[in-house]
Amino acid sequence: MTTSMTALWVAHPVLQAAVVAAMYRNRLKSRFPVFFAYLVSEIVMFGVSFPIYLRGSYTAFFYAHWILAVISLTLGFFVIQEIFTDILRPFHALRDLGTMIFTWAGFVMLLVAAVVSAASPASQSPIVEAVLTLQRCVRVIQCGLILFLLIFAKYLGVSRKQQTFGIMLGFGSFAFVELSLVALFTSGRIDENTISLINMTAYNLAIMVWFGYCVQKQPARDFASTLLMPQRWDQSLNDIQHPATDDSLIPMFEGMVERAFSRNHGDVSSVPDPASGAHVPPQSAKTVLHHLADSAKSSG
């Protein structure tokens, strides 16, 4: 490893420690506990792998590197889920759907990694093939999530100055660079040393992005405008999970009566009968509502 590559590698825990300090200072640890754990684990893993590398034991470094890579990928996957859950926090039904999708995505990734590992040639290590497959799956999901944020940020009320967007921007940018390097290496247009150099530089830049977002104050989420599209999605999923019963007709008619009261500006001498259009005394409003509910049940 060249001096420049070693310096870039050593810069990882230094920059990550700065992000951890910024998160702790701005009380972001409780909001993003998985991301905080990811950063701390990366620092600890550097403390384990770097001394092994300095000792020059290839076998020990090989196993340490790939075992720690599995831990890093697992935490990175759960960071994606944490960011997605934070984005959909106001929309409970969509958040539950997202959690279910991520659970199945994790199972599919493990299945694909197992198949690729079993089908790998005898000359290649099954562990390496499985980890590389998991790594590429996680990178694709990270790229997909940053594209999702870029497209739907305004519909979900997420500002590009919020920490949620910044964390995913760092992951997504690094994932895009890494996948591009893999494609170039597969086509024979770049060598391994250049890949390592660009990859380490890109990761350091991603950590700097995280640090910049963690030290600045987060603007309030934009709820000034009614988020009609995600609210319709959320309401539709909620209706599927909790179907309306016949008794729910009465609250609907009660809402009609309340709107009639508001239009009459406090004149409660009579209220309109929703069935006939005639006005009835307010004391018989409840009777009208129950009559309409019974009629709806019999017709249904």
Rounded Cα distance, 226 and 183, in Å: 42
Burial of 85 (0-12, 13-18, 19+ CB in 10 A): middle
Q: Which residues pair with 280 in a beta bridge?
A: 271
Q: What is the dihedral of CA 33, 39, 41, 43, to 10 degrees?
A: -150
Q: Transcribe 193-208 into DSSP letters.
A: HHHHHHHHHHHHHHHH
Place of tokens 């060249």: 2
Eight-state DSSP code of residue 2: -
pLDDT bin (cut points 50, 70, 90) of residue 254 is: low
119-156 pLDDT per residue, tens: 666 556 777 777 888 888 888 888 877 787 777 766 66
Q: What is the pLDDT of residues 158-212, one digit of tens each?
A: 777 888 888 988 998 998 999 899 888 888 788 888 888 999 999 999 999 999 9
d(CA 168, CA 172) in angstroms, rounded, equals: 6
pLDDT tens per residue across span 5-33: 889 999 999 999 999 999 999 888 888 99
Determine what percent of the chain is predicted with pLDDT higher than 70.
62
Alpha helices (H) in 27-162, listed in sequence order = 33-55, 58-87, 92-119, 126-156
Q: Which residues contact 195 (CB under 8 A, 6 or more apart)?
A: 181, 184, 185
pLDDT at residue 157 greater than cutoff 50: yes
Question: 165 pairs with which residues across the strands?
Answer: none
Residue 37 has pLDDT above 90, yes or no: yes
For residue 143, give both structure tokens: 């790229």
